[in-house]
Homo-oligomer: A and B are copies of this chain.
C-alpha cells in the first residue's frame, strides 16, 4: 500500500496516562503525563518527559523526588482535570487523598491502583522538554489489584490516552502471551 508521510511530527499513539506528583512550593501537586517509560531495568528507573514550563519541574528539582501514579479508568475526570489546570493558578494539593513511602516529598495518590516513588537521578534537556530520570524506591498497590501475587490489569483498569485525537481509551482484552506466541512464527521459518 502507498505510504503517506505525515512529516516531522510527534506520532499519535495510545499511551498509558499517569499522574506525576511532586512537592512544589512545599505543597503536593499533580500533573497529567503520557510521556513516560521505563529507563533502566537495574537499578529500576523511570523517565518522564515534561514540557520545560510546567509548574511541577522546579519542585522536582528542589526536592529531588517525584511520584508516578497510575490512575484507573474510573478516575478519568480528575486525571484530565490535572492536565487542564496548572498548579500556577490552582491549588491541587487537596484534590486527592495522599500517602507517602520513604520519600517525604513524593506524594502518592491513595485511589491509584499502582504508584511508584522516585528519587531524581538525572535531568536530560531535549528541545522544549526536560526528561527527569528517577530511581524507583518503592512500588505500591493493594491486595485487591493482584492475582496470584501479580498486578492484574483487568482489576487495575489503566487509562490510555491518544494524541492529537485527544481520546481516552479503555484497555481491551488480553489475547496472547509474550515471549511465547512468537514461537509459532519461529516454527514456520
Closest to A44 in B: B10
Cα-based distance from A120 to B34 in the complex (angstroms):
22
Nearest CB on B from A154, distance (A): 9
Cα-based distance from A175 to B10 in the complex (angstroms):
23
Find A16's partner among B14, B51, B186 (CB 8 Å cutoff): B14
| Interface bin, chain A | 35 or more
User: A43-82 CB contact bits vs B (8 Å, 1 = yes)?
Assistant: 1111101010000000000000000101001001111111
Segment 1-52 of A: residues with Cβ below 8 Å from B:
1-16, 34-47, 49, 51
Cα-based distance from A177 to B44 in the complex (angstroms):
33
Segment 152-179 of A: residues with Cβ below 8 Å from B:
152-153, 158, 160-179
Copies assembled: 2
Q: Are the C-beta atoms of A172 and B175 separated by less than 8 Å?
A: no
B-side contacts of A171, CB under 8 Å: 14, 160, 169, 171-172
Q: Using A39-B49, A40-B129, A153-B162 as known contacts, say yes or no to A137 and B70 having CB atoms under 8 A apart.
A: no
Q: Using A39-B129, A78-B185, A186-B85 as known contacts, say yes or no to A175 and B73 having CB atoms under 8 A apart.
A: yes
In the complex, given contacts A3-B140, A84-B182, A168-B176, what are 8 additional A-B residue pairs having Cβ atoms less than 8 angstroms apart? A8-B44, A8-B139, A34-B38, A47-B49, A85-B182, A124-B131, A160-B160, A168-B178
Interface on A for B, CB 8 Å cutoff?
A: 1-16, 34-47, 49, 51, 68, 70, 73, 76-85, 95, 99, 101, 110, 114, 116, 121-122, 124, 126-129, 131, 133, 135-144, 146, 150-153, 158, 160-186, 189
